Amino acid sequence: MSNNLPLRGRSIVVTRPEHQAAALIDQLAALGADPIAMPAIRIQPRPDLSELDTALRSLELYAWLVFTSANAVHITLDRVRSLGVDLAASPSLNLAAIGPATASALRSYQLEPAFVPDSYVAEHIAAGLPDVSGRRILLPRAAGARPVLPTELQRRGAIVDEIQIYDSVRAELNEAGLDRLRQGIDVVTFTSPSTALAFFDLAAEAGLDPCHLPGDPLIACIGPITASAAVELGFRVGLTATEYTARGLALALADSFQEANHRVGS
């Protein structure tokens, strides 16, 4: 097997929402894999965004606007455009992004984050965000997100306005995807706790045992928060990426299979 295609022939399920799956699918395909798009969730903006609108009209009150997902970036900045809000009119406002994908989403609007933590989890953005004591922070994000970020920022003396702007809603697995699952696959990837939970429910409703799927696939997670959620559901997580990005997950899978192939061949 070519070292350039360490995932050749490996069937890998991608559970990311359809509009976000391309990066991981492309990374896996470039490494020789057979990626199977099987979105477990879809992103649904809240029907009433009036609380967000009120905050966006008063951005001069905030020192930081913190984004923990690309979804939050797109929903918030689409509202900014809709309302005709000029971010440049609030020179004291700084932008923060939880990781490179979120930072890239900001750059697609010609905006540069002032802070991106070295490790892409809420704990690190909460600990590393500079100059927050007594400052007001706007945090638009998903409903049901972990409370650690606003809690830790408040502990550091910040005033946090957390606004729930979207829901992660369970998608429906199509019959083609279910057929692939029943035939047996090599890997199932989870990129968030919500993808793990939704996939578990969808597979169970289809009559499959989510934790003992045909082919005994490797369960691969984008990072430790996702892995912890998957373990709580009963999945046996076999791989957790150390770089919490689509690229990091694809490369971790490549390394894992390359090592396995080397052991078999030695």
In order of 21, 59, 75, 78, 98, the CA distances from 247 in angstroms are: 12, 34, 24, 27, 16
pLDDT grade, residue 257 (50/70/90)?
A: very high
Contact criterion met (CB below 8 Å) for 66 and 138: yes
Residue 141 bridge partners (DSSP): 164
If you average pLDDT over residues 234-245, what whole number do you get? 95
Is residue 262 predicted with pLDDT exceeding 90?
Answer: no
Is residue 2 predicted with pLDDT exceeding 60?
Answer: no
Is residue 265 predicted with pLDDT exceeding 80?
Answer: no
Confirm whether 11-40+171-265 and 45-168 share one CATH topology.
yes
Separation between Cα atoms, residue 257 and residue 266, nearest integer Å: 14
Separation between Cα atoms, residue 154 and residue 160, nearest integer Å: 7
Separation between Cα atoms, residue 178 and residue 173, nearest integer Å: 7
Residue 115 bridge partners (DSSP): 96
CATH class of 45-168: alpha beta
Is residue 223 predicted with pLDDT exceeding 80?
Answer: yes
For the segment 179-198, what is each residue's pLDDT rounded down to a tens digit? 999 999 999 999 999 999 99
Q: What is the pLDDT of residue 264?
A: 45
110: which DSSP letter?
T
Q: Where are the beta strands (DSSP E) in the chain?
A: 11-14, 34-37, 41-45, 64-67, 94-97, 136-142, 159-170, 187-190, 218-221, 237-240
Is residue 266 predicted with pLDDT exceeding 50?
Answer: no
- Domain 11-40+171-265: give its CATH architecture: 3-Layer(aba) Sandwich (3.40)
The pLDDT mean for the chain works out to 92
Tokens 């750059």 map to which residue? 107
Residue 164 bridge partners (DSSP): 141
pLDDT grade, residue 88 (50/70/90)?
A: confident
CA dihedral sign of residues 241, 247, 250, 253: negative
pTM over 0.85: yes
What residue spans define the domains of the chain?
A: 11-40+171-265, 45-168
Is residue 214 predicted with pLDDT exceeding 80?
Answer: yes
